[in-house]
């Protein structure tokens, strides 16, 4: 009787802790209230209330239509559809959509403010490298 071939077990797949582009962001729903500082390395969607600080230096923060954030924010990108009161340091860009409202200063490489949006504060446009250094220094 010929020997039975032994099948090689499948190679283990590498596990990555970095967020993938097709992953959905972490979601803070309408009825959730958070007090304190949020640190993370994945995208965050806030539709509830956050008071404190948000630090997502390599990720995107989106404030939904129902979102109400009273915090200083440091992120790669910030998109505002709801309300944010606080200063923003963004490595890449800040977008204030038509329904959005921002009260606070912005430091970013790019900013976009749609018609109908509310903005009260100062803007400091810096090259991407300069914003990155400012974000990591704080």
Going from the C-alpha of 106 to that of each of 76, 77, 83, 90, 94, the distances in angstroms are 13, 12, 14, 8, 8
Residue with more model confidence, 106 or 2: 106
The tens digit of pLDDT for each residue in 63-99 reads 999 999 999 999 999 999 999 999 999 999 999 999 9
Any domain includes 112: yes
More confidently predicted of 15 and 126: 126
Mean of the per-residue pLDDT values of the chain:
85
Q: Does residue 16 belong to any structural domain of this protein?
A: no
Domain count for the chain: 1
Q: Which long-range contacts (CB under 8 A, 24 or more apart) does 77-81 make?
A: 78/108, 80/117
Asked whether residue 1 is assigned to any structural domain, the reply reads no
Q: Check pLDDT > 60 for residue 14.
A: no
Please check whether residue 7 lies inside any domain of the structure.
no
* 39 domain residue, yes or no: yes
Which residues lie across from 106 on neighbouring strands?
Answer: 88, 123
pLDDT of residue 19: 46
The reply to whether 58 falls in a domain is yes
Instruction: Flag whether 15 is in a domain.
Output: no
Give the chain's end-to-end CA distance (angstroms, integer): 72
Nearest to 57 by CA among 78, 36, 71: 78
Q: What is the pLDDT of residue 127?
A: 81
Judge contact between 48 and 29, C-beta under 8 A: yes
Q: Tell me, yes or no, whether 93 lies in a domain.
A: yes
CB half-sphere exposure, 41, CA atoms < 13 A? 5
- Residue 38: domain span: 26-131
């Amino acid at each position: 009787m010929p020997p039975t071939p032994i099948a090689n077990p499948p190679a283990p797949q590498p596990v990555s802790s970095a967020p993938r582009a097709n992953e959905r962001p972490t979601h803070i729903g309408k009825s959730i209230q958070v007090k304190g500082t949020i640190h993370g390395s994945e995208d965050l969607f806030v539709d509830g209330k956050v008071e404190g600080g948000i630090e997502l230096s390599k990720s995107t923060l989106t404030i939904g239509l129902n979102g109400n954030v009273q915090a200083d924010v440091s992120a790669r990108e910030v998109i505002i559809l709801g309300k944010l009161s606080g200063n923003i340091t963004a490595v890449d860009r800040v977008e204030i959509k038509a329904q959005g409202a921002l009260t606070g200063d912005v430091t970013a490489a790019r900013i976009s403010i749609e018609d109908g949006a509310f903005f009260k504060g100062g803007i400091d446009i810096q090259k991407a490298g300069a914003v990155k250094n400012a974000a990591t220094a704080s």
